[in-house]
Amino acid sequence: MRYFIELSYNGTAFHGWQIQPNANSVQETIEKALSLLLRETIQIVGAGRTDTGVHAKFMIAHFDTDVTFSTDNLQYKLNSLLKAPIAIYSIYNVKEDAHARFSAEKRAYEYRVITRKNPFEINSAYLVKQLIDIDKMNRAAALLFNYKNFKCFSKSNTDVKTYNCDLFRAEWIQESEHLLVFHIAANRFLRNMVRAIVGTLLEVGIGKLEVEAIDRILKSENRSEAGYSVPAKGLYLTEVTYPENIFIDE
Looking at the chain, how many residues does it have?
250
Q: CA 176: distance to chain centroid?
A: 23
Check: CB of residue 103 under 8 Å from CB of residue 4.
no
**Is-contact 166 148, C-beta < 8 A?**
yes
Write the single-letter amino acid at 126.
Answer: Y
Distance CA 147, CA 164 (A): 9
Active site residue 159: no
Q: Decide the pairing of beta strands 106-114 and 86-94.
A: unpaired
66: Cα separation from own chain's centroid:
30
Among 51, 72, 166, 215, the one annotated catalytic: 51
Please give the positions annotated as active site.
51
